[in-house]
Amino acid sequence: MDQILSALVSILFHGLAYGMILYVISVGLSVTMGLMGFANLAHGVFAMAGGYITVTLMNGFGIHFFLALVTACIVVALASVVLERLLYSRLYTASELDQVLFTIGIIFMASAAARYAWGPLPQRMILPESLSGQVDLGFRTFPTYRTFLIVVSGVIIAALWLGIERTRFGAQLRAAVDNRRMAEAIGINTRRLFTATFAVGSGLAALGGGLGADILAIEPAYALEYLVYFLIVVSVGGLGTVKGPFVAAVLLGVTDTTCKYLIPEFGAFFIFLAMIGLLLWRPTGLFGRA
Amino acid sequence: MRRTVLAVALATGVALSATSTLAQTIKVGVINTYSGPQASLGDQIDKGIQLYLKKNEGSLPAGVKIELVRRDDTGPNPEVAIRLAQELIVREKVQFITGVVWTPVAAALAKVVDQAKVPLVLANASAAMLPTLSPWVTRMSLSMWHAGYPLGQWAARNGLGRVYTAVSDYTPGHDSEQAFTKGYVDNGGVIAGSVRMPLQNPDFVPFLQRIKDAKPDAVFAFLPAGRQATAFMKAFGDLGLSSAGIKLIGTGDIVTDEELPNMGQTPLGVITAFHYSAAADRPENKEFVAAWKQEFGPTSTPNYMSVGGWDAMGAIVEAIKAQNGKVTAEKSLELLRNWKNAASPRGPVSIDPSTGDIVQNVYIRRTEMRDGALANIEFETFPQVKDPWKELNKKK
């Protein structure tokens, strides 16, 4: 009995850590898609860029993991503003097909650029001493790195929730997601709002890419490789919310891990079956608005 | 006067035509993966081919040049590879085809070269049955059984009584699972359980947790080299399987030389069977690694695929030399099928003329710290192993 319980705790713990990373990367995608209706498939590119910057700063310049993470987050957020103003903003009124073609194109260009600059191999990720090994939480030990992932993601989630529910910016954002034309009519500058949201979303993706680099390895195909998972999180969670993707990501992480544990031969299919079922039941996702 | 001019003209003409028959270019088609997510594999093979050619170009008969015609199959895409091979044979008139990362690509190409009668020299692609598909196929790399079967024998004889197998769910995974199981069970080992893991899989924790609960003496693992093997290794470390007394063994794919630096400390003590380690002490290998680092930079490390490319090109160059540049397909094939190299970086190798497959030493290695970096140190040798799958199926 003890052993089953211990295995269960381990599975839940690892599933949670995995889900949290998916959430931090995907939440920006959900909000920007909900706000502007822009299908940005290239969202993973920002996570990949964050990962590359983090590992390059660490391996090439000996900068500490935490500092590298923050730098990556800021650099990518700023770069995304430039991209948004130069490229994305031209396609806001374009058809969905144009948007998808455009963002898929960005993925391919980013992959080729990453391969050119860093080569085809996954990047080396050496965690700092303080994050390697195991941490004792009283009743049992857990890998420090994954515990750290859960804690940091938890803090990010709390900050996001506060930012959206309790600040003026958040109120404007919620208003714009609910009804953009009305929000514009009462004087909210939705364009600026969107640029800011886009930057925050991309910065978070970069943070997630760097944070999770030890689980989701940084390599040129990253943005394409994990795209399916980001999209599952967003579509199951629902567009335009921060709560939805959180529930979806944790569900994805925990059920995927549990099913693969219980029935390894079929476990990999289960998550897709569950997604089909969920979307048939609620086509706009768990917390999406019709 | 006029006559002398004519004579001189005639003489130069003769001389010119004589040199032009001597100066000839032999085209070698390379079908390889140069782009896409798996481009790192093709890169290693291509560098092996390049390096061999650069070091040995001078030994070709006077006037003979080799031109590589590279084509990109972009991944395991047989339909693309068939089109490329047809183009290489019909339009470029290549006299050899080499490269080939993937088993499905090799299987498709076997049919093409069988009809076109062009020798196909595989630098990788490791499903056991490949060389049986056509006499025009020779293989310079390995069969999945080369590594799995001897490791099974070794594990059973070295006190690993119960082993759990964990392989990626695709043909080479199935092959290595069967190879290991056969070698292991025939020598008295007990399989504690087995699992086939999806090829697209970001996190290996659930599978390893299951294995941890089964408490075997060791896990036998096969995953494609690169991201998958590294992720598996990290999860193995995270879940603390080694502190629970579970050893990790596998084919060399899980600790390929170029990936070792990305894996942290977990691979320490991992035992693998393979035909090549960049850390091997053979003088031929030291020379090879030194030449590699000089050519491609000190941080670049050759792996088993590089050696596959190196030996494939070596066999082709030898075949051209032996024919003194006047290459015919039939003669080339005969030479390739009887190729021997006592001084390959991986030790003595040869082609078994009856199967077209490679005969080579298989080494049992332990991953250890050497000069501040992880390395696969060979400590036991199964000498001159013929593909066990073909040997076992022959007896029946």
With contacts defined as CB-CB under 8 Å, which chain A residues touch B213?
3, 7
Q: Are residues B373 and B264 in the same domain?
A: yes
With contacts defined as CB-CB under 8 Å, which chain A residues touch B200?
268
* B2 located within any domain: no
Contact between residue A127 and residue A135 where contact means Cβ atoms under 8 Å apart: no
With contacts defined as CB-CB under 8 Å, which chain B residues touch A260?
206-207
The packing angle between helices A2-36 and A243-262, to 10°, is 140
Under an 8 A CB cutoff, do A18 and B202 touch? yes
Q: Are residues B253 and B368 in the same domain?
A: yes
Under an 8 A CB cutoff, do B40 and A267 touch? no
* B341 located within any domain: yes
Within an 8 Å CB–CB cutoff, is residue A147 touching chain B? no
- Its pTM stands at 0.80
Within an 8 Å CB–CB cutoff, is residue A134 touching chain B? yes
CA–CA separation, B359 and B338 (whole Å): 11
With contacts defined as CB-CB under 8 Å, which chain A residues touch B207?
260-261, 264
Q: Are residues B35 and B90 in the same domain?
A: yes
Nearest by CB to A260, which of B43, B206, B231?
Answer: B206
pLDDT exceeds 80 at position A267: no
* SS3 annotation, chain A: CHHHHHHHHHHHHHHHHHHHHHHHHHHHHHHHHHHHCCCCCCHHHHHHHHHHHHHHHHHHHCCCHHHHHHHHHHHHHHHHHHHHHHCHHHHCCCCHHHHHHHHHHHHHHHHHHHHHHHCCCCCCCCCCHHHCCEEECCCCEEEHHHHHHHHHHHHHHHHHHHHHHHCHHHHHHHHHHHCHHHHHHCCCCHHHHHHHHHHHHHHHHHHHHHHHHHCCCCCCCHHHHCHHHHHHHHHHHCCCCCHHHHHHHHHHHHHHHHHHHHCCCCHHHHHHHHHHHHHHHCCCCCCCCC
With contacts defined as CB-CB under 8 Å, which chain B residues touch A11?
205-206, 209
Best mutation target among A1, A6, A10 (most B Cβ atoms within 10 Å) is A10
Best mutation target among B43, B169, B201, B209 (most A Cβ atoms within 10 Å) is B209
Contact between residue B111 and residue B137 where contact means Cβ atoms under 8 Å apart: no
Domain that holds residue B261: 145-274+362-395
In angstroms, what separates the C-alpha of A117 from chain B's closest C-alpha? 14
SS3 B368: strand
Under an 8 A CB cutoff, do A224 and B37 touch? yes
Lowest mean pLDDT of A28-32, A104-108, A217-221, name the range. A28-32
With contacts defined as CB-CB under 8 Å, which chain B residues touch A147?
none
Nearest by CB to B196, which of A120, A126, A265?
Answer: A265
Q: Are residues B15 and B137 in the same domain?
A: yes
Q: Are residues B373 and B263 in the same domain?
A: yes
Q: How many domains does chain B have?
A: 2
In angstroms, what separates the C-alpha of B196 from chain A's closest C-alpha? 7
* B1 located within any domain: no
Listed by number, the residues of chain A in 114-133 with a beta carbon closer than 8 Å to a beta carbon of chain B are 115, 119-127, 132
Q: Are residues B137 and B255 in the same domain?
A: no
Q: Are residues B118 and B15 in the same domain?
A: yes
Q: What confidence score (pLDDT) does residue A164 get?
A: 85
In angstroms, what separates the C-alpha of A290 from chain B's closest C-alpha? 32
| pLDDT tens string A164-214 | 889 998 899 888 888 888 999 999 998 888 899 899 999 999 999 999 988
Under an 8 A CB cutoff, do B202 and A3 touch? no
Phi/psi for A160 (5° steps) reads: -60, -45
With contacts defined as CB-CB under 8 Å, which chain A residues touch B232?
none
Q: Are residues B137 and B160 in the same domain?
A: no
* B194 located within any domain: yes
* B4 located within any domain: no
- Nearest chain A residue to B228, by CA: A217
With contacts defined as CB-CB under 8 Å, which chain B residues touch A258?
206
Q: Are residues B138 and B149 in the same domain?
A: no
* B153 located within any domain: yes
Q: Are residues B253 and B385 in the same domain?
A: yes
Under an 8 A CB cutoff, do A122 and B240 touch? no
pLDDT tens over chain B, length 396 residues: 555 555 555 555 555 444 444 568 999 999 999 887 778 889 999 999 999 999 999 999 988 999 999 999 988 899 999 999 999 999 999 999 999 999 899 999 999 999 999 999 999 988 888 999 999 999 999 999 999 999 999 999 999 999 999 999 888 899 999 999 999 999 999 999 999 988 777 788 889 988 998 999 999 999 987 778 888 998 898 888 888 899 999 999 899 888 888 787 889 999 999 999 999 999 999 999 999 999 999 888 899 999 999 999 999 999 999 999 889 999 999 999 999 999 999 999 999 999 999 999 999 999 999 888 899 999 999 999 999 888 888 755
Q: What confidence score (pLDDT) does residue B23 get?
A: 67
* B239 located within any domain: yes
Give the ipTM of the model, two decimals please: 0.75
Q: Are residues B233 and B371 in the same domain?
A: yes
Domains of chain A: 2-128+144-281 (1.10.3470)
Nearest by CB to B230, which of A7, A122, A226?
Answer: A122
* CB atoms inside a 10 Å sphere around CB B135: 16
In angstroms, what separates the C-alpha of B93 from chain A's closest C-alpha? 31
In angstroms, what separates the C-alpha of A14 from chain B's closest C-alpha? 7
Structure tokens of A263?
A: 């029935």
Pairing of strands B24-32, B190-197: unpaired
Residue B289's CATH number: 3.40.50.2300
* B237 located within any domain: yes
Average pLDDT of the residues of chain A? 87
Q: What confidence score (pLDDT) does residue B183 get?
A: 95
SS3 B374: strand
With contacts defined as CB-CB under 8 Å, which chain B residues touch A115?
35, 39
Q: Are residues B326 and B378 in the same domain?
A: no
CA–CA separation, B265 and B226 (whole Å): 17
Q: Where are the alpha helices (DSSP H) in B23-63?
A: 39-56
Residue carrying the six token digits 């070794």: B154
